[in-house]
Amino acid sequence: MDNSVANGTTSYRRSGRFSSARRFQLQLLDQLIADPRLKNIGGCNELNAGYVADGYARARGVGACVVTFTVGGLSVLNAIAGAYSENLPVICIVGGPNTNDYGTNRILHQTIGLTDFSQELRCFQIVTCYQSVVNNLEDAHEQIDRAISTALKESKPVYISISCNLPAIPHPTFSRDPIPFSLSPK
């Protein structure tokens, strides 16, 4: 069994995953695509990925989308807000900045030109029931499980940002079994 961050994000297993490939989430997408339990459906942009995840949540009980930091996150925000108003569990996974970039005051490309990496998180706080920024492996499994559990229990979207350099790094906590859930379509 894989024991990486990517394995933790597959714990809800019933979902398709909708994505638009960009720099910050490429390593995560590589790990997720390799997982035969999930169906990856690529899209032309993040907003479409969000709306397709919304539709998937309506039909199957939960949806997920994977987007890049800031430029992708702000694009998918409208779809996530719609899912929030419709009480749909959509798991929005964002490929966040490298852990080495936190606290450096660097301006990263695909951002709005600020050194504060929390601007995207603040936007999602209004339209999600739970937000998690995973930038270390020690509590990553717990954060991801809590986010997914909250989305399913509250039937609302959640935001999970995962630093782009973490997905392929093995960690023993990700070899644990996921929390079992039973979902029925809306």
CA angle 160–135–41, rounded 5-degree value: 40
pLDDT tens digits for the chain (186 residues)? 344 445 545 444 444 444 445 554 566 666 666 777 777 777 788 999 999 999 999 999 999 998 988 889 999 999 999 999 999 999 999 988 888 877 787 877 777 777 778 899 999 999 999 999 999 988 888 899 899 999 999 999 999 999 988 887 877 776 666 666 655 555
Cβ contacts of 29 within 8 Å, gap of 6 or more: 19, 21, 40, 66, 95
CATH of span 5-175: 3.40.50.970
Instruction: Kindly list the domain boundaries of the chain, sorted by start residue.
Output: 5-175
Q: Which residue, among 44, 96, 46, 42, has the nearest Cα to 75 in the 3D structure?
A: 46
